[in-house]
Amino acid sequence: MASQFLPLIVVIIILIAPSINAGEWPPSPGFYPSTRFRSMGFYQGYRNLWGATHQSVDNNGITMWLDSSSGSGFKSVKPFRSGYFGASIKLQPGYTAGVITAFYLSNSEVHPGFHDEVDIEFLGTTFGKPYTLQTNVYVRGTGDGNIIGREMKFHLWFDPTQNFHHYAIFWSPNEIIFFVDDIPIRRYPRKSATTFPLRPMWVYGSIWDASSWATEDGKYKIDFRYQPFVGKFINFKASGCTAYSPAWCHPVSASPFRSGRLSGHQTRAMEWVQSHNKVYDYCKDYKRDHSKTPECWS
């Protein structure tokens, strides 16, 4: 009798499985910037920022966790004015609603209330749903007070809880490019000085409780019955012009070209991801006041 229900069970499992199991992968970008920059151990470039009791460091990386008492975060030793910044990250499976695991650039400690920020954030999820990778850019205080975000969100083409994958931010005076396993997923060009971060920033990582907005706009909150929530970071890369470099320091490139301009293969891979995996684009959200995000129309 039970065997009669097996086909139905199989169909249900397929229907509720996350879209990441679809098996479609982006085309090759033809160039792999992560291989051009040396890896470093955690203490070669970073230090604890907060939640020291909620992190464990070895020579290769750091494991951080969030529970009902605290989360944790780290910060680079040096500030940069351009560069390539990456880390291989593995996320926690299961119920992680409300949890943010982040890798980002910021100068909020130097410019409180008027800071710049470039984010890669993993928005926690509920059972049977994929993580959302959110990219974001804040410029000169748009992340403070009356927040004006420039979010673009993706569902990845793989399960980020099963293995480490490399996530990176390339920041030059002309553009910001977000990478996943060397595949560019978003390009944010400089269209004006008012819509692009130009002041030096540090590299940060953190895991924290953002229940008010992280998962389906705050519909699902953190549930500490599933604590601790763990994020693992290894294979750090941070290469570029520091804030202390001489004026003639030339920005690094994340493409075959010295200028950093994406190649044709890289552009096609990015377009594939944006057509298959992008789930939100602030420029196409017509409920928003785009007079505050002029780069969408310029």
Catalytic machinery residues: 117, 121
What does the chain come to in residues? 298
For residues 228 and 71, is the Cβ–Cβ distance under 8 A?
no
Cα 238 to Cα 272: distance, rounded to the nearest angstrom: 27
Considering only CA atoms, which of 32, 49, 25 is closest in space to residue 104?
Answer: 49
What are the structure tokens assigned to 16, written together?
């509720």
For residues 214 and 113, is the Cβ–Cβ distance under 8 A?
no
3-state secondary structure at position 193: helix
Concatenated DSSP letters for 224-280? GGGPPEEEEEEEEEEES-BTTS-TTPPPP-SSSSTT-PPPHHHHHHHHHHHHHTEEE
DSSP state of 35: G
Cα 86 to Cα 105: distance, rounded to the nearest angstrom: 11
